[in-house]
Amino acid sequence: MLDIGFAKSALPKNGALVLLVEEGEKPTADLLAEVDHATGGAVSRALEAAEFKGKPGTSCTILAPGAGLSRVVAIGIGKLEALTQRTAEEAGGHAVPALSRDTHASIAAAALPDALAAAIAMGAALRSYRFDRYRTKEKAEDKPKLAKLHVLAAHPVRAKEAWTPLQTTFDGVCITRDLVSEPPNVLNPAEMAERIKALESLGLKVEVFGPKEMAKLGFGALLGVAQGSANEPRMVVMHWHGASSSGKGKKAQRPQPIAFVGKGVTFDSGGISIKPAAGMEDMKWDMAGAGTVVGLMAALAGRQAKVDAVGLVGLVENMPSGTAQRPGDVVKTASGQTVEIINTDAEGRMVLADVLHYCLEKYDPKFMVDLATLTGSIIVALGHEYAGLFSNDDGLSAQLTAAAEETGERVWRMPLADAYDRQLKSDIADMKHVTGRPGSAITAAQFIQRFVGGRTWAHLDIAGMAWSTKDSACVPKGATAFGVRLLDRLVASHYEEA
Catalytic residues: 275, 349
| Cβ-based neighbour number of residue 75 at 10 Å | 26
Length of the chain in terms of residues written: 498
Give helix 484-494 / helix 394-407 axis angle, nearest 10°: 120
Consecutive H or E run containing 170: helix 156-181
Strand partners, 388: 412, 461
What CA–CA distance (Å, rounded) separates 290 from 267? 13
Asked whether 37 and 65 are in contact (CB, 8 A), the reply is no
What CA–CA distance (Å, rounded) separates 289 from 287? 6
| Cβ-based neighbour number of residue 449 at 10 Å | 19
Q: Compute φ and ψ for 219, nearest 5 degrees.
A: -80, 60
DSSP 185-249: TT--HHHHHHHHHGGGGGT-EEEEE-HHHHHHTT-HHHHHHHTT-SSPPEEEEEEEETTTTTSSS
Half-sphere exposure (CA, 13 Å, Cβ side) for 253? 8
What CA–CA distance (Å, rounded) separates 332 from 354? 10
Q: Judging by DSSP bridges, how do beta strands 104-108 and 148-153 pair with one another?
A: parallel
Asked whether 461 and 387 are in contact (CB, 8 A), the reply is yes
What CA–CA distance (Å, rounded) separates 423 from 68? 69
Report the helix count and the strand count for the chain, using DSSP H and E: 15, 19
Residue 254 CB partners (closer than 8 Å, separation 6+): 241, 243, 244, 247, 308
> In whole angstroms, how far apart are CA 74 and each of 54, 56, 61, 85, 88?
8, 11, 6, 19, 14
Consecutive H or E run containing 118: helix 114-128
Asked whether 377 and 437 are in contact (CB, 8 A), the reply is yes
Asked whether 447 and 349 are in contact (CB, 8 A), the reply is yes
